[in-house]
Amino acid sequence: MIAIITAAFVHFTFISGSHFNGGTITWHPTDFNDTSNPINITITQTYSWTFGKVNCTNAMITNHSNINYGTYSTIPTDTLTCISPCNTGSSGNARGYTSTHIIPQCTDTNPIMGTTISQRTDTKLLYVNDNFTVAYQSASPYAWLPLAGSTTASAQWSIASNIDLYLRPDGYYNSAPLATMMSPLNIPKNIQQIINIPVSDANDDDLRCRWASGSTECGDACPSASLIPANTVLYSNCTLMITGTLADAYYAIPVVVMKFFFLTG
């Protein structure tokens, strides 16, 4: 059994806050039929921001312009960085990877919901059996939006994806699963909600969800009794059961999507 991990973040109940709302990172062979070594890999970063702090216009969306990052001057230099393990030498596990910028292009804006959605894609020439984790981790000022519970806007974030580039038994390269839900989602107070997180996989492998854990996967927004409502349940089939208990509060729901395939004989 082999598990490939990528992270998708979902947030609930929008209020005005700081500029970062979470996102997803995924990757796949640029040409799914390519079996060469090295091989071009496309990495896609998708992020949600607070409208009014990070902005896009319809013209910027049409022209594929970068987001207007306002006063958040670190965004143009922030990078998607290899964090573990990161041997880029000729026999290393991360050959070919160099840090890439995170500043994305405008894809959608919704002033009513208060969101700016953005995405960027980059191509990296990587090697068979490369296996490493990349992450977008916050730099000062941290500026997570204020979250319910003890975590404030100073909380650090970490959105990660494991790149495990092996040849599958069918002779093709592996790819990461994809979660397409973006924050925020609105939920009513004190009414249980059942939310199906949409996930898919180019290899048609078995997909399962679990809570993110540890500083690499969720930074300071990891699930805890102080950050998410009691009795919140994340099922392995990527269904979330949640009852919001606070009005005008933000809950961070850090989810890891895993994929499995089973060798039988």
Q: For each successive 10 residues of the chain (265 residues), what is the average pLDDT? A: 34 48 91 95 94 94 96 91 88 90 96 91 96 85 63 70 90 90 81 92 90 84 79 95 85 86 60
- The pLDDT assigned to 14 comes to 32
Residue 7 is inside which H or E element, if any?
strand 2-12
CA distance 144 to 60: 24
Count how many domains the chain has.
1
- The pLDDT assigned to 43 comes to 97
Verify cis geometry, omega within 30 degrees of 0, for the bond prior to 177: no
Residue 115 is inside which H or E element, if any?
strand 115-126
Residue 19 neighbours by CB under 8 Å, 6+ apart: 49, 50, 53, 54, 70, 72, 143, 145
Residue 130 is inside which H or E element, if any?
strand 130-137
Q: Which domain holds residue 76?
A: 2-261
The whole-model pTM stands at: 0.87
Amino acid at 216: T
Q: Coil, strand, or helix at residue 59?
A: helix
